[in-house]
Amino acid sequence: MADINLLLSKLKVKHSGKNQWRACCPAHGSEGGTLKIKEQDSGKITLTCFAGCDAKDILGAIGLDFKVLYVEDGKPYIRHNPRKELDELTVKIAKYDLDNGKRLNKQDFIIFKEAEKRLRQG
Ligand SMILES: [Zn+2]
């Protein structure tokens, strides 16, 4: 279960916006606020280190596991392959619209087809 409070309690954080924080990245030991923490509307938490640290390494450094980032029935946030996650979402939304009799405009249709093709190719 996503637990933003537990996560924030382990880091030296600075509030940087709505549901957003900056912290010193525990994985590469920076002094500045290179780590961005964001709580999505879905409750899922994303970690982004500007030095490129993996979410797994960041969590490992503070003794937490992936469970702290994602909502109960959701998937963990996968930082190294955001393209696929985005494509899956694009296809899901487009199919939902089409199933409900909505027509996609030309540009959306092209984006949908490209996403579908990429997913098919793996
Ligand atoms: Zn880092």
pLDDT confidence of residue 72: 65
Cα(104) to centroid(ligand 1), Å: 40
- Residues lining ion ligand 1 (Cβ < 5 A) are 25, 27-28, 49, 51, 53
**Predicted local confidence at residue 30, as pLDDT:** 73
**Any residues with CB less than 8 A from the CB of 15 and at least 6 apart, and which?**
21
For residues 77 and 86, is the Cβ–Cβ distance under 8 A? no
Q: How far is the CA of 11 from the centre of ligand 1 (A)?
A: 13
The angle subtended at Cα 52 by Cα 79 and Cα 73, nearest 5°, is: 20
Q: How far is the CA of 108 from the centre of ligand 1 (A)?
A: 36
**Along the 122 residues of the chain, how does pLDDT read in single tens digits?**
788 999 999 998 999 999 999 999 999 987 778 999 999 888 889 999 988 999 999 999 999 988 888 876 555 544 455 678 888 888 988 998 899 998 888 888 999 999 999 999 87
Query: How close is the Cα of 32 to the center of ligand 1, in Å?
Result: 10
